[in-house]
Structure 1
Amino acid sequence: MKKIVMFFCVLAFVGCKTKKTVVEKVEAPKVFMLTVNEINSTQKAKAYSLGKRVLMTCNTSKFTPFSATEATADVRKNTTEARLTQTCHKFRLKYGEFKDLKLAEVWMDNSTGQTVYRFKADYTKPIANKELRVFMNNNNQVAAIKSLDWKAGL
């Protein structure tokens, strides 16, 4: 009798077990490439001119500091003529004179709201394979500038 009662208790316990359904959320990608039609032309022009101004410092050794409307406080604090001169000295020895920037890609980062402009930097020496990334925030200010070795993708 005990076995029968125990059997029904186990059967009732297993039979009443609820099943959970798992619902997966499909999140939008955090970083995605923008098409030509989606690019803000004024922001693109501003990113190009500010990026070129930084790299032209390597040729002229004169840098006009960013204004409050052009860059965030962190960028203005970190982009000094002394720091640029050090970096430019290394770049000139290794890559030669800076010529121009060519826009390669534009990426949008949904998590930060920043637009990343990837420019291929042209130098006089053929071994130069560098890129300049200019990060623009929603206020049309430079949020960061990075110089990296060129590689495909972000």
Structure 2
Amino acid sequence: MKKLVLLFSLTLLVACKTSKVVTKEIPLDQTTTPTEEVIEDSKSEELTEIEKVEFIKLRPATVNAAQKQKAYELGKRILMTCNTSKFKPFTTAEATHSVINNITIDKLSTICNRYRTYYGTFNDIELVEVLKSTKNSSTIYRYKALYSKKVANKELRVTMNAASKVSAIQTMDWNNSL
């Protein structure tokens, strides 16, 4: 039995490959073609289409100011719901239909109760980095959420599509890498 567990663990370890995609920072003015990619891997194999660079890191100063402000306001509106318990639903000019349909007051209440318990009251969000997708020209704004308790850092990702509408909103634990 021990040999079987050891063999299974070894097989699992060999089967799991980790790769890290490093993005290159370029201004928004230039074209958004895939840039250099660095992948750390125990074996140097040829890259498939899935493993190629998917995002380009942009400097926040080079991003469209109106879209950046819109992403900030919409992201902050979601998290301020936890403090005020009042949510103004997104309009079709602000978000896609899937986002509008997925953000309900019930889902927000559940998330807010958990966040208030662990992290305290929400203060503000701070823009950390902006990523541009090379595949579908969407822009991801990564914000660090600031709460009254300094227990853990939370991240808010606001994804804006080419039409400057919110196409996704995610919260997760802060991670310095993608």
* Short-chain TM bin: 0.7 to 0.9
2: CA distance between counterparts of 1:40 and 1:75? 22
Contact 2:60 2:129 in 1 (8 A): no
- Report what 2:163 is aligned to: 139
The counterpart of 1:107, out of the listed 131, 136, 153, is 131
CA drift of 1:35 comes to 1.8
Corresponding residue number in structure 1 for 2:25 = none
Which residue among 138, 148, 151 is the counterpart of 1:124? 148
Q: TM-score, normalised by structure 1?
A: 0.80
* Structure 2 unmatched ranges of 5 or more: 1-32, 35-52
Superposition map of 1:1-154 within 5 A = 28=34, 29-154=53-178
Gaps of 5+ in 1: 1-26
RMSD: 1.1
The CA deviation string for residues 40-61 of structure 1, in whole angstroms up to 9 with x for no partner, is 1100000000000000000011
Q: Is the 8 A contact 1:122 1:128 kept in 2?
A: no
Aligned-partner SS, 1:91 = helix
Specify the alignment match of 1:22 in structure 2. none
Deviations 1:6-53 (A, max 9, x none): xxxxxxxxxxxxxxxxxxxxx714211002342111000000000000
Q: Which residue of 1 aligns with 2:17?
A: none
Give, in angstroms, the shift of residue 128 of structure 1: 2.8
- In 1: Cα distance, 2:156 partner to 2:176 partner: 13
Alpha-carbon distance in structure 2 between the residues aligned to 1:128 and 1:53 = 21
Measure the CA separation in 2 of the matches of 1:37 and 1:91.
Answer: 31
Report the Cα distance in structure 1 between the residues aligned to 2:116 and 2:153, rounded to whole angstroms.
13
Q: Which residue of 1 aligns with 2:16?
A: none
Q: Which has the higher helix share?
A: 1
Aligned length: 128
Q: Flag the structure with larger Rg.
A: 1
Distance 2:61 2:147 in 1: 29
- 1:3 is matched with which residue? none
Report the Cα distance in structure 1 between the residues aligned to 2:137 and 2:124, rounded to whole angstroms: 27
Runs of at least 4 residues off by over 6 Å: none
